[in-house]
A and B are shown apart, each in its own frame.
Chain A
Amino acid sequence: MAHGPAKGISRWLFTTNHKDIGSMYLWFSFAMFLVGGLFALVVRAELFEPGMQIVDPNFFNQMTTMHGLIMVFGAIMPAFVGLANWMLPMMIGAPDMALPRMNNWSFWILPFAFFMLLSTLFMEGGGPNFGWTFYAPLSTTFAPPSVTFFIFSVHIMGISSIMGAINIIATILNMRAPGMTLMKMPLFVWTWLITAYLLIAVMPVLAGVVTMMLMDIHFGTSFFDAAGGGDPVLFQHIFWFFGHPEVYIMILPAFGIVSAIIPTFARKPLFGYSSMVYATASIAFLSFIVWAHHMFTVGMPIAGELFFMYATMLIAVPTGVKVFNWVATMFKGAMTFETPMLFAIGFVVLFTIGGLSGLMLAIAPADFQYHDTYFVVAHFHYVLVPGALFSIIAAVYYWLPKWSGRMYSEILGKTHFWVAFVGLNLTFFPMHFAGLAGMPRRIPDYHMMFANWNMISSVGAFLFAGAQLLFLYIIVTTIIKGRKATDRVWENSEGLEWTVPSPAPYHTFSTPPEVK
């Protein structure tokens, strides 16, 4: 029974081990993160000052589009799936994921999807240049020929996500150790369970909308073409019916991570566990009825406008509850500030700023001025970079000692945090100002009144990129030569994952543990 990993490349190709698959997801997402980051640097370099200096406007559009697609589907989502693979079985006391072979498959189709997506950049007419939201008819009638490959790769990513989600639900519902009732599960497990349902609900919608595009492009239908009786706005409704839950898919697991880290370093149990669970569920529910807040300017009837405005404002309530609970957890604790805690606190502060700008965007009349400007770019980067991304980085620092059996260097980790923190605020804070002053998003050149903010942003972006190279260095050196970690790793860590040795053996919990 207790055999180790296979030797050589076949270990990785054929593995059904949740830890191996988790590692592959994490490395893959890190590679995609660097590629997507590179594209962002091309964008920021062009925007460093007014005038066209480095790239052609069409290539600029390909860079913004690919940056968005790769970061969302290639970096953030697979990273969370990687963390789920590593941690869920260990957190609930299961020996592996429920469907290990499907697990292998859902990972291995991803590299092909992204290889295909990236190869469109070298095709005649270039890659996707219609924004990560690919509004029709820009992405149908007016798209470069490579759009067909884009559609195919979105299909593959969708299949991968759906399989991953099914696996996660099956694992959590069926494989918990005796005594691990639903309301005893760590919040990371809870948030992932809810996220997985969101994925199953909306990925087919995404697949549907790209299939409709495919039909319009190649098979003469007119879903999104008014000349044939269709409607371009229909595209946006379908896209955002997927798209808004999608943004919560990228943040709910982050809530789970932060809810694990803050209690550890505050040495105090998570405040309001059950209200956290209910808040997560309400957010998930509300996320299905707010999609048209991305479409306040398309000319909806006023009744629709009002409904989506109220629903969007409402979603701030459970989000606020989360933030208040984290603060209450920290209150009267005995805090220390190791690297995972720094990233978690960075998360709470900066995610809150993103949530507050979200609240401003929810005010429909004001959104007429904000929409499609850099103000929106600032908003979603505040929720995604110090939000989703910081939580992933925090998770890596927090659990890397468990995965590798080795401790990272605290000095380097803290340096990483501070450089990233300064870099990202320099990059994204000025975008609020540029947007309010009137700078539209997705433009390669701009008037001088936006010049100073853009220059600061570009400097910040390169600083932030540098911090991530340091991250790579830290991970590699830790795995190779970090000092040995203890089993418990942190002074106050709680949960089943800390009861197994560090590094976690290839097979854990072959016999289920008893929970309390």
Chain B
Amino acid sequence: MLMKAKRLTALLLAPVVLMMSHQALAEEGGRWSYNMPEGVTPVSQTIYGLHMQMFWWCVAIAVVVFGIMFYSMIRHRKSRGVKPANFHESTTLEIIWTAIPLVILIIMAIPATKGLIQIYDAEEAELDIMVTGYQWRWRYDYLDDDVSFFSNLSTPREQIQGLEPKGPHYLLEVDEPLVIPVDTKVRFLLTAADVIHSWWVPDLGVKKDTIPGFINESWALVTEPGTYRGQCAELCGRDHGFMPIVVEVLPKEEYEEWLAAKREEAEAIRALTEQTFTFDELYDRGRDVYNRWCVACHQGDGQGVPGTFPGLIGGISVGPVEGHLDVVVNGVRGTTMQAFGSQLSEVDIAAVITYERNAWGNNMGDMVQPIDVFNFKQDN
């Protein structure tokens, strides 16, 4: 018996011991977070309330059912010499244990219905933001302000592969967060460019699928400035686990400043279209663009993934420039090769094409200027 108990404790302790050594590696608190966050919007707080209420009902039901069950498992065992009773029917009991759960459910259905009505009330929003899911990044368009940008995972590959220690926001950090003002009803219009994704930020109480060809609606009114993180919740292909969402909620004045800066930035990028670049400038910029936008499929060495994503050594990358422009700007319909024409600026398209035509042994020696891309888009 003692041996048995010892073995059992060892068995139970193994994971605990393992975890403690693991814990030593971690700087971050909250490794034991175990519950839904209450969040910072009226909706997330409603949801949290419903969740806890239903949870306690479940606990109560479990205590009663398991209580009776364990009582009888302890008392009514043959080894205690009891004789089995022979009752096996009672309409009264059946009615009671149909009615009681029904009542509990009705008690729960009322606040749940109210909660749902609240979630569906996206009227009278002060700010409209279009959220578009792409494999595997998000795009945000501020519909009234002519501001638009993509938001990519910014965790370095080295951290993912374990070559560097992981940062505090591992996999939950992006190059450009979504920025919204505090105390403002923001409406999200959600759609997708390729497959279905789902835009989820727990602290906002928002999860809505983004469906290609359709537009969904959701809203949030955040009451506390801060940074809130979430992830794509619908399986969307290879890098589904690597398309986080970061929402930065700013006081209203700061939000206005951010918006102004953003507009200027867009202006500057547009100005670049008219500029002429040297080969080296394009090539270097192109490598950065490639590593942010294209590596996931075509891979760092340009070899692609056999059977799924073609390599870029040879092929179109060493053919006529028009053909190359066409694939990158317009994409290839019916495949995962998207139309990058609306996603990347003219400079970035010019740069990445120049890079592809000259990297990994593709020695075309030519280059594409932003104005060429601009003209190509005009003509096609």
Contacts and interface: CB of A to CB of B under 8 A. Distances in A.
A365 B241 contact: no
A503 interface: no
B233 to A, nearest CB: 4
B58 A57 contact: no
A359 B58 contact: yes
B116 A366 contact: no
A334 interface: yes
Given A138-B195, A365-B112, A449 B33 contact: yes
Given A51-B161, A356-B58, A459 B14 contact: yes
A313 B334 contact: no
B19 A456 contact: yes
Interface stretch (A29-37, A301-309, A467-475): A301-309
B160 A52 contact: yes
A131 B236 CA distance: 10
Contact of B239 (A57, A231, A446): A57
A353 B62 contact: yes
Interface string A3-30: 0000000000000000000000000000
B115 A131 contact: no
Residue with the highest number of chain B CB atoms closer than 10 Å, among A305, A323, A448: A448
Contacts of B335: 141
A233 B35 CA distance: 30
Interface string A312-346: 01101100110110011111111111000000010
A232 B76 contact: no
B18 A144 contact: no
Given A233-B211, A359-B54, A372 B234 contact: yes
Given A271-B88, A317-B98, A334-B77, A363 B50 contact: yes
B112 A314 contact: no
B271 interface: no
Contacts of A231: 213-214
B101 interface: yes
Contacts of A267: 78, 84
B236 A138 contact: yes
Interface stretch (B142-150, B251-259, B301-309, B367-375): B301-309
A68 to B, nearest CB: 11
A251 B105 CA distance: 23
A445 B108 contact: no
B26 A451 contact: yes
A512 B305 CA distance: 63
Interface in B1-60: 11-12, 14-15, 18-19, 22-23, 26, 28, 30-37, 44, 46-47, 50-51, 54-55, 57-58
Given A273-B88, A366-B51, A233 B112 contact: no
A360 B212 contact: no
Contacts of A359: 54, 57-58
A143 to B, nearest CB: 10
Contacts of A446: 171, 241
A88 to B, nearest CB: 24
Given A51-B162, A332-B85, A333-B72, A438 B37 contact: yes
B102 to A, nearest CB: 6
A508 interface: no
B97 A324 contact: yes
Interface stretch (A122-130, A151-159, A194-202, A481-489): A122-130
Interface residues of B, number: 112
A385 interface: no
A490 interface: no
B47 A365 contact: yes
A426 interface: yes
B230 to A, nearest CB: 7
A336 B77 CA distance: 6
Contacts of A247: none
B266 interface: no
Contacts of B109: 309-310, 313
Given A53-B162, A130-B235, A436 B76 contact: no
A316 to B, nearest CB: 6
Contacts of A119: none
Contacts of B15: 426, 455-456, 459-460
Contacts of A314: 105
Contacts of B160: 51-52, 445
Interface string A436-479: 11101111111111011101100110010000000000000000
Contact of B62 (A298, A310, A331, A356): A356
Residue with the highest number of chain A CB atoms closer than 10 Å, among B66, B209, B231: B209
Nearest to B97: A324
Interface in B146-183: 159-162, 166, 169-172
A7 B66 CA distance: 51
B171 A445 contact: yes
A365 B171 contact: no
A417 to B, nearest CB: 14
B237 A332 contact: no
B217 interface: yes
B200 interface: yes
A269 B101 CA distance: 25
Contacts of A422: 11-12
A329 B85 CA distance: 10
Interface string B107-130: 011001101111110000000000
Contact of A365 (B115, B231, B336): B115
B69 interface: yes
B208 interface: yes
A364 interface: yes
B54 A452 contact: no
Nearest to A439: B231
Given A272-B89, A275-B94, A449-B33, A58 B205 contact: no
A281 B79 CA distance: 37
Contact of A232 (B34, B46, B196): B196
A349 interface: yes
B268 interface: no
A306 B113 contact: yes
Contacts of B242: 57, 445
Nearest to B71: A331
Contact of B73 (A330, A444, A463): A330
A173 interface: no
Given A144-B307, A272-B88, A297 B101 contact: no
Nearest to A458: B15
A204 interface: no
A451 B27 CA distance: 12
A317 B272 CA distance: 66
B207 interface: yes
Contacts of A453: 34
Contacts of A332: 72, 76, 82, 84-85, 87
Contacts of A368: 47, 119, 205-207
B34 A433 contact: yes
Ranked nearest first, the 3 interchain pairs of A and B with the lowest CB-CB distance are: A226-B213, A443-B241, A124-B307
11 contacts: A51-B160, A52-B161, A57-B240, A138-B237, A271-B87, A328-B93, A369-B205, A422-B11, A447-B170, A447-B172, A455-B15
Interface of B: 11-12, 14-15, 18-19, 22-23, 26, 28, 30-37, 44, 46-47, 50-51, 54-55, 57-58, 61-62, 65-66, 68-69, 72-73, 76-79, 82-90, 93-94, 97-98, 101-102, 105, 108-109, 112-113, 115-120, 135, 159-162, 166, 169-172, 194-196, 198, 200, 202, 205-209, 211-214, 216-217, 230-242, 305-308, 334-336
Given A330-B69, A359-B54, A448-B28, 13 more contacts: A137-B194, A266-B76, A273-B88, A274-B89, A321-B94, A330-B72, A334-B84, A356-B58, A365-B46, A372-B198, A442-B240, A451-B26, A456-B15
